[in-house]
Chains A and B, each alone.
Chain A
C-alpha cells in the first residue's frame, strides 16, 4: 500500500455521488444504466465517476460487451480502515499521555503552593 494510492482512494471517496454508487454496489453488482437511474445524471457523467472509482481500485467491471456489471472491490476500503486505525491509536494514546501529563502538572502545582505556605 503506497501513500499515493491511499490519497487516490480518499479523493475518490470525497464525492457524495461516488460514495452513493459504492453504497449501491455494496448490495449487489449493477450495470451503468442501473447506476445512472437514481442519480438523474447523464450516462457520460456516471461513466466519468465510474472511471475514477475504477482507477482507485474501488470497483471492477465485467468484460461482457453488452452490460459490463460493476462490482465493489473492498481492498482499498480496508486500507482506509487501516489508516483510520492508526490515526485513532495516535490520538487515543496521545490523549492518555496528555491525561497523565495534566496530572503531573497538578501535583507539581500543589507541591509548589504547599512549599510557599511553609
Chain B
C-alpha cells in the first residue's frame, strides 16, 4: 500500500494558501515521471475512483496546454484546463490548472508543483498546490503574523479530516 499524507500550510511568500500532498510509490522515478508526463498513461489514472477522461490533452512541455474533461460515475462532465510552466526530467513539473464552470470559464487558478524524489527504487512524490490570486505581496514586517493564520488553518484541516473520516465510516 502506498503511503500518503496531506497537510495544509501557508505559502512561504505569504501569498494565499498551500496544500501539500506526499505519497510514496513502489516504482522507479523514471517510470513515475513517465506516467505523469505521457497523456496515454495519465488518462488511465487521472481523477477520483469511477471517473474516466474522455478528453485528455496533456502537453507536458513548457507552455504546453492542458485540456481534460473528466466524466463522473453519474455521467456528468467536469472540464479543466491549464498550462505547463516548467519541466525538469525526471524531477519536477510545474503547471497551472483551473476547473471550468458550466460555461467553460475558468474559476480560480491553482499553481501545482510536483516533485519526484528517488528513494531506493521507490519514488517520493510531493504535490504542492497553491491558489493563485492577484493580490500583491505584503510588506516584510507582516510575516510574523502568519503564525496565527497557520494555526487557524490547522484547525480547519482538522475539521476537514473529521468530515472526511465521518464520511468514510
In whole angstroms, what is the CA distance A105 to B45 when docked? 12
Q: Please name all residues of chain A whose beta carbon is closer than 8 Å to the beta carbon of B41 when the two chains form the complex.
A: 101
Look across to chain A and name the residue whose beta carbon is closest to the beta carbon of B27. A102
Chain A 75-105 interface mask (CB, 8 Å, partner B; 1/0): 0010011001101111111111111111101
Indicate the size class of the contact surface on chain B: 35 or more
For window 141-155 of chain B, which residues contact chain A by CB distance below 8 Å? 141-143, 145-146, 148-149, 151-152
CB contact between A23 and one of B4, B25, B134, B148 (< 8 Å): that residue: B148
* A11:B4 contact, CB within 8 angstroms: no
Question: Which 8 A-B residue pairings sit nearest by Cβ, starting from the closest?
Answer: A23-B148, A20-B145, A19-B149, A93-B48, A14-B133, A97-B45, A14-B135, A3-B107
In whole angstroms, what is the CA distance A6 to B109 when docked? 12
Chain B 125-169 interface mask (CB, 8 Å, partner A; 1/0): 101010101110010011101101101100011011001100000
CB contact between A10 and one of B26, B133, B141 (< 8 Å): that residue: B133
* B45:A19 contact, CB within 8 angstroms: no
In whole angstroms, what is the CA distance A31 to B112 when docked? 39
* B163:A85 contact, CB within 8 angstroms: yes
A106 within 8 A of B: yes
Residues on B lying within 8 angstroms of A by beta carbon are: 1-2, 4, 6, 8, 10, 14-17, 19, 21, 23, 25-27, 31-32, 35, 41, 44-49, 101, 107-108, 125, 127, 129, 131, 133-135, 138, 141-143, 145-146, 148-149, 151-152, 156-157, 159-160, 163-164
* A15:B21 contact, CB within 8 angstroms: no
Could you count the A-B residue pairs with CB atoms below 8 Å apart for me: how many are there?
133
Q: Please name all residues of chain B whose beta carbon is closer than 8 Å to the beta carbon of A95 when the two chains form the complex.
A: 2, 4, 21, 23, 125
* B142:A17 contact, CB within 8 angstroms: yes
* A23:B151 contact, CB within 8 angstroms: yes
Q: Please name all residues of chain A whose beta carbon is closer than 8 Å to the beta carbon of B148 when the two chains form the complex.
A: 19-20, 23-24
Chain A 1-22 interface mask (CB, 8 Å, partner B; 1/0): 0010011001101111101101
How many A residues touch B, CB cutoff 8 Å?
42
A43 within 8 A of B: no
Question: Can you list 25 A-B contacts with CB-CB less than 8 angstroms, sorted by A residue number?
Answer: A3-B101, A3-B107, A10-B16, A10-B108, A10-B133, A11-B135, A13-B16, A19-B146, A20-B149, A23-B145, A23-B152, A81-B160, A89-B48, A91-B21, A91-B127, A93-B48, A98-B35, A98-B45, A99-B2, A102-B27, A102-B31, A102-B32, A103-B26, A105-B31, A106-B27
CB contact between A80 and one of B4, B44, B156, B164 (< 8 Å): that residue: B156
